[in-house]
Amino acid sequence: MVFKNSYEDDAYAAAYAKLEFPGTYYLAFRDLPEILASHVEGDQALDVGCGTGRSTRLLCKLGFDAVGVDIAEEMIQKARALDPSGKYSLVPDGDLSQFANDTFDAALSAFTFDNIPTAEKKIALLSELARLLRKSGRIINLVSSPEIYLNEWASFTTKDFPENAQARCGDRVKIIVTALDDKRPVADIVWPDEDYREVYGKSGLEVVEVYRPLGRADEPYFWVSETTIPPWVIYVLRKI
Ligand SMILES: C[S@@+](CC[C@H](N)C(=O)[O-])C[C@H]1O[C@@H](n2cnc3c(N)ncnc32)[C@H](O)[C@@H]1O
């Protein structure tokens, strides 16, 4: 079955462009400044799957000279409108040939791999990222945990999709971002930890560290599952 990227849609891109770091998303980004500071040397960064530029703007705020790339024209247009002086580039699927070898100190992908349907495509993109990284460079791969599709959250709901519980690696799962004005379900691809580790190995990468941020009781959010079940997994990777 052909996997349709939910983000190649003007109305969804417009809703996504208003999203900053509400609720459950806060947990995806809360620890990134510290993670980047402790693992990355240098300031040249690529944001692969930059969407409407939220993650690219964060990198720039943290002092990186960042360029965002995405396959969805609708998303890139919104990124450029929100951040006219930012660097954003529309790329054909998996094609990062415009960048030379050993260019970046960091390659961030925030939720991008949730939308890359097969092991072959994941390995192809990860191998490209490895080519673009400097020797000391790091890939920061922020992905949804398989549990996000099975529980309720401050900013997501999955209760209307009980079929998610049967999903295995590579299957489509559905989730609604309640923090968005556009409440249509998004289709993602579920990919458990052991399967990520397999594609990393086949891409010439090794895991340096894994973070699974949890919500804390003193944070100003109405956490639902976030204090006990990690919604996100953040892999720090290096070239072997
Ligand atoms: C959930 S959005 C996240 C956007 C952004 N990183 C953020 O945190 O707001 C995922 C993005 O990945 C993009 N994407 C999916 N496959 C891609 C690929 N092979 N190369 C580049 N971008 C891709 C989608 O078009 C979408 O804009």
The CATH number given to whatever domain includes residue 59 is: 3.40.50.150
Q: Is the CB of 75 under 6 A from ligand 1?
A: yes
**Ligand 1 atom at minimal distance to the Cα of residue 8:** 25
- State the Cα–Cα distance between residues 125 and 127, nearest whole angstrom: 5
pLDDT digits over 168-207, tens only? 999 999 999 998 888 999 999 999 999 999 999 999 999 9
In the predicted model, is pLDDT for residue 146 greater than 90? yes
In a domain, 226, yes or no: yes
Q: Specify if 96 maps to a domain.
A: yes
**Beta strand spans in the chain (E):** 44-48, 65-70, 87-90, 104-110, 133-144, 156-157, 172-177, 186-189, 205-211, 232-239
Residue 7 has a pLDDT of 74
Q: How confident is the model at residue 78 (pLDDT cuts 50, 70, 90)?
A: very high
Domain region containing 235: 10-146+191-239
Domain membership of residue 217 (yes or no) is yes
- Look at residue 80 and tell me if it is in a domain: yes
Q: Is the CB of 71 under 6 A from ligand 1?
A: yes
Query: What are 217's two structure tokens?
Result: 């009781």
How much is the pLDDT for 15? 66
160, part of any domain: no
Structure-token match 């460079």, residue found:
137
The string of DSSP letters for 215-235 reads --TTSSS--SSTTTS-SEEEE
Position 186 scores a pLDDT of: 92
Confirm whether 128 is domain-assigned. yes
Is the beta carbon of 24 within 6 A of some atom in ligand 1?
no
Tokens of 75: 């998303």
Note whether residue 224 is domain-resident.
yes
Sheet holding 104-110, edge to edge: 87-90, 65-70, 44-48, 104-110, 133-144, 232-239, 205-211
Counted domains in the chain: 1
Answer yes or no: is pLDDT of 1 > 70: no
Quote the pLDDT of residue 16.
64
Here the tokens at position 146 are 């398989």
